[in-house]
Amino acid sequence: MNKVVLNAIVKNESKIIKRLLDSCKNLIDYISICDTGSTDNTVEVIYDWIKENDFPQSNCKIHQPKRSFGEILFSFITIDHNEKYENCENLRKELNEWKSYAVSNNQLNIYNDILECVETLSNKRKLSNEQKDLIYDLLNSQDKDKPLRHKEDTTFVNFGQNRDQSLRLARKYFPEATYTFLIDADMIVHTNNFNKSMLIGNSIIFITQVFGVKNPIEYSYAAFIHKDSHSKCVGVTHEYWSYTSREILPKDTIHITSPGDGGCKSNKQERDERMLKGEIFKTKEIVYEGFRKKTVDFHLNDSLRTRYYFYLAETYRCMKKYKESISYYTKRIHKERYRGDSEVWYSIYSIANIYKYMYNSDRKYESNMVDWYLKLYEYEPRRIESYRMLYEFYKSKNQINRCYMFAKLLITNEFKYTPNDLFVNTKLYDLTNVYKYLIENSYKMKDKKTGNLACEKLLKESSDVSNQTFVKKYLEVYK
């Protein structure tokens, strides 16, 4: 029988974390959560839920931030200066966690010298000048912006690194779990006759984003990672999991909704802009050789650069910095990896939508909008979005002939999306209102053939009584 460990990174999620846990409590056997620096009572709320639901304490592990190596070193200075020798025991415990790191980096001699400093302070003696020189030398070898951190320190660095760490810790502390269930605090799990025996390989689950959008967006990701899978989380933000195999779980048995009300959304766009630009324009980076920093050349691989262009464009669009957004969408389009690249398709779609928005303040952008929507159709003619958006636009402007033209194109072409398509708004594929529009207007346009076709399609695709009645009334007109 498959066993599942819930795995999430959280920060300031006290208002919603119980909702997540309630939604999947019948699905999980273990809980491994990494808190990345909450300033509210998120951790306490999780422990309360564990107690309230009689979830076995031995099956739960909540990881929390630790002090960086530089912060530990600074404690030597403060203890020595303030003569707060009672803090030495905690300092010793923290240092013990660094012994394996020292051994693996062949710097046990330095580690032992630091331990001698603890012994000196524990005996309520001041550090010698030689010991102070050692501590100050190591402090100067730490980087303020990228400090040396313990491998189980869950302080937030970036999403890829922290999610990668969270998977590793879940597997370390619960090796008996067959699957790690990767999920975020602002998600809700919905199941219907789902059981864990359905999990095969790395299992894909569908998510519907419902926050802040009129029309929800659906996408999928590998939520269940098998314990034997060599998976890695890639990217500083808008990250993804690499994996070798996948199996799609039926949406009618399990799916996720995402209200997007997480505790760290308020500055999301500014944070993403900073992180993405930091990677795109970075030429040097800090690494550590043992306990000392080293500056090395940094080369961002082309695949990640391409991905970062796309998500920086997305970030600027959300920030309403449209000039910058179009610039980076265009960079992404020029980096097309294969025909049908979903990010290229969405870049074209987004540029068209930006010009549609800009049209509201300046009508000169109509031609730009139309050009980009038509480019969208040329790039992927099986998807409906291009014609549907033009139909909706001309309908809202009461431009009858153009609206009618695109309505006809919508019902005389076969549009579809596949499970591999990204950024799908499924509601756009429901043509009920388009059929009704054509049924009502085809007679006026002296186009009975199209009116009859719309009637046939609506009768076939909708069992709604009101739609059936609507069609039967107009069938008499089209005889």
Question: Which DSSP letter does residue 319 get?
Answer: T
CA gyration radius, the chain: 29
Q: Tell me how far apart the alpha carbons of residues 206 and 254 are, in angstroms, rounded to a whole number.
A: 8
| Alpha-helical segments (H) within 380-463 | 385-396, 400-412, 432-441, 448-461
- pLDDT surpasses 60 at 211: no
In 3D space, the residue among 95, 84, 92 whose CA is nearest the CA of residue 124 turns out to be: 84
- Say whether pLDDT at 453 is over 60: yes
The class of domain 4-64+154-258 in CATH terms is alpha beta
What are 157's two structure tokens?
Answer: 């660095």
pLDDT at position 250 over 60 = yes
What pLDDT shows up at residue 210?
59
Predicted pLDDT at 479? 65
What pLDDT is stored for residue 385 in this prediction? 97
Gap between the Cα atoms of 79 and 75, Å rounded: 6
Least confidently predicted of 129-133, 212-216, 409-413: 212-216
For 284, the 3-state DSSP assignment is strand
Place of tokens 């067959």: 178
Helix spans in 319-384 (H): 322-333, 342-359, 366-379
Phi, psi torsion values for 414, nearest 5 degrees: -95, 115
Is 209's pLDDT higher than 70?
no
- How far, in Å, CA of 33 to CA of 165, rounded? 11
The length of the chain in residues reads 479
- Residue with tokens 């291009």, as numbered in its chain: 386
Give me the residue label for tokens 């530089």.
70
Q: CA 439, 445, 449 angle in degrees (round to 5)? A: 60
Nearest to 373 by CA among 400, 350, 405, 402: 350
This prediction has a pTM of: 0.87
Are the C-beta atoms of residues 183 and 24 closer than 8 Å to each other? Answer: yes
Q: Which residues of 391-420 are buried (b: 16+ CB within 10 A; e: fewer)?
A: bbbbbeeeeeeebbebbbbbbeeebebeee
How much is the mean pLDDT over the chain? 93
Q: How far apart are CA 314 and CA 308, in angstroms?
A: 10
DSSP state of 229: -
Give the type of residue at 251.
Answer: K
Q: Sign (positive/negative) of CA torsion 301, 375, 386, 455?
A: negative
Give the DSSP per-residue string, 96-151. HTTHHHHHHTT-HHHHHHHHHHHHHHHTT-PPPHHHHHHHHHHHHTS-SSS----T
| 261, 186 contact by CB (below 8 A) | yes
Query: In Å, what is the CA distance from 435 to each residue of 373, 405, 407?
Result: 22, 13, 8
Model pLDDT for residues 159-184, shown as the tens digit of each residue: 999 999 999 999 999 999 999 999 99
The dihedrals phi and psi of 182, each to the nearest 5 degrees, come to -85, 120
User: Where does the pLDDT of residue 468 fall: very low under 50, low under 70, confident under 90, or very high at 90 and above?
Assistant: confident
Beta carbons of 186 and 207 less than 8 angstroms apart: no
Q: What is the pLDDT of residue 185?
A: 95
The backbone region for 398, taken as left when phi is positive above 0, alpha when psi lies in -120 to 50, beta otherwise, is: left
pLDDT in tens, 437-451: 999 999 889 998 999
Task: Read off the pLDDT band of 391 (50, 70, 90).
Answer: very high
pLDDT grade, residue 247 (50/70/90)?
confident
Helix, strand, or coil (residue 262): coil
> Percent of the chain scored above 70 by pLDDT?
97
